[in-house]
Amino acid sequence: MKQQKVIISQNIRKALDEAVAACSHDRLLVLVDETTLKACWPLVCQCPSMHDAQLITIGCTDTHKTLDTLSFVWSEMQRLGATRHSLMVNLGGGMVTDLGGFAASTFKRGIAYINIPTTLLSMVDASVGGKTGINFGGLKNEIGVFNNACCVILDTEFLHTMDRENILSGYAEMLKHGLISTKERWSQLVCFAPVTSHITSEMVADNVSVKQHIVTEDPTEHGIRKALNLGHTAGHAFESLALERQPILHGYAVAYGLIVELYLCCVKTGFPTDIMRQTVAFIKENYGRMAITCDDYPRLIELMHHDKKNVGNTINFTLLGHVGDIRIDQTATEDEIKEALDFYREC
């Protein structure tokens, strides 16, 4: 897979002009959703490189991450005369960068694309590492390809358009990066109050370097990239259960998943209890709790069985022996998972 350049920008207009100039192209397409059209496009539309850009606008939120939307984007690319030498710029959160990346990767067997993530979640996670795709058949990210953007431009100016809940949602992935990397990074993250104006480009740059390092080593998730799944086996189950009741943001589900999985780390791989307790206290204070009862356990476990990371009938987890001591391909029994869910409810 081609290398992906990650640019930490202090001036989005200059960074975008330079990135577009570095990708030779005939036509330029910009994918936005209804929110980023209003909140983010005005910040870049005056760039000289954007004068000839043709906009494609899709609906916002994950409900639009569908084959119908993808088909609409392909049709628009065709209608606007895109060729295999055209360039796509995806301006938005994870839904736009995932779907736009997939549209670009498949149109005429693949055209170049640039990601400009506008949410914290997409800055530190979704936009980096070449995962593209759509939801299908009721399953998230069921259809897609690994294909890196030519470059990803990270600029915290966009974070001013976000509310506290969405900042917290992205912050959960930052916390995960702390846990899978170093005690120093973890410690800074749990001592920080994640308020929009406090998230600096230095923090984003430092945090995304954890993911960059991992995806460079294992672009297609056969090994160490599975470290990025910490908190996600239980997290996706919480997220899917919430979808049947009252949807929650992805990062909140990951935060709750981290509580369950850090407990499993303590029981199964000797993770230090004090670090687990400090992380749980941080999560409780900032993310509250999604209420569940024992009656939800069978459904949560069933949802964990559906996780695409599983092999056969076992439920697969990424666990830690310590901060940064990554143990991929771990399993847990249903009884161990129930005990971890008891801990989640009682802590």
Q: How far apart are the first and last CA of the chain?
A: 43
Can you name the residues that pair with 79 across neighbouring β-strands? none
Structure token digits, residue 201:
């480009």
Nearest to 315 by CA among 341, 291, 294, 292: 341
Which member of 125, 155, 261, 307 binds ligand GLY (CB under 6 A)?
A: 125
Would you count residue 92 as binding ligand GLY (CB under 6 A)? no
Would you count residue 176 as binding ligand GLY (CB under 6 A)? no
Is residue 46 a contact partner of residue 16, using CB atoms and an 8 Å limit?
no
Task: Pick between residue 228 and residue 341 the one whose CB is nearest to ligand GLY.
Answer: 228
Report which secondary-structure segment, H or E, holds 318: strand 316-322
Could you give the residue ranges of the DSSP H alpha helices within the chain? 12-22, 34-39, 41-44, 67-79, 94-106, 120-121, 164-179, 183-190, 201-217, 232-243, 250-269, 273-287, 297-305, 334-346
Closest distance of CB 292 from ligand GLY, Å? 24
Closest distance of CB 129 from ligand GLY, Å? 4
Task: Pick between residue 221 and residue 307 the one whose CB is nearest to ligand GLY.
Answer: 221
Task: Pick between residue 5 and residue 108 the one whose CB is nearest to ligand GLY.
Answer: 5
Instruction: Report the interhelical angle of 164-179 vs 201-217 (nearest 10°).
Output: 50
3-class SS of residue 10: coil
d(CA 166, CA 147): 26
Residues 275-304 that bind ligand GLY (CB under 6 A): none
Closest distance of CB 220 from ligand GLY, Å? 10
d(CA 115, CA 109): 19
Closest distance of CB 293 from ligand GLY, Å? 30
Burial status of residue 80 (CB atoms within 10 A of its CB: 0-12, 13-18, 19 or more)? middle
Local structure of residue 46 (DSSP, 8 states): T
Would you count residue 228 as binding ligand GLY (CB under 6 A)? yes
Closest distance of CB 258 from ligand GLY, Å? 14
Is residue 165 a contact partner of residue 150, using CB atoms and an 8 Å limit?
no
Which member of 93, 101, 117, 129 binds ligand GLY (CB under 6 A)?
A: 129
Which member of 13, 131, 236, 327 binds ligand GLY (CB under 6 A)?
A: 131
Closest distance of CB 126 from ligand GLY, Å? 7
Choices 38-46, 124-132, 306-314, 316-324 (CB under 6 A): range interacting with ligand GLY:
124-132
Closest distance of CB 112 from ligand GLY, Å? 20
Closest distance of CB 25 from ligand GLY, Å? 26
3-class SS of residue 234: helix
Task: Pick between residue 217 and residue 334 the one whose CB is nearest to ligand GLY.
Answer: 217
Can you name the residues that pair with 144 across neighbouring β-strands? 133
Interaction pattern, residues 187-226, with ligand GLY; x per rule: CB under 6 A: ----------------------------------x---x-
Choices 76-84, 125-133, 188-196, 239-247 (CB under 6 A): range interacting with ligand GLY:
125-133
With CB atoms as reference, the residue minimizing the distance to ligand GLY is 228
Closest distance of CB 275 from ligand GLY, Å? 22
Task: Pick between residue 75 and residue 220 the one whose CB is nearest to ligand GLY.
Answer: 220
Q: Which residue has the tokens 């919430």?
A: 242
Per CB under 6 A, residues contacting ligand GLY are 125, 129, 131, 221, 225, 228
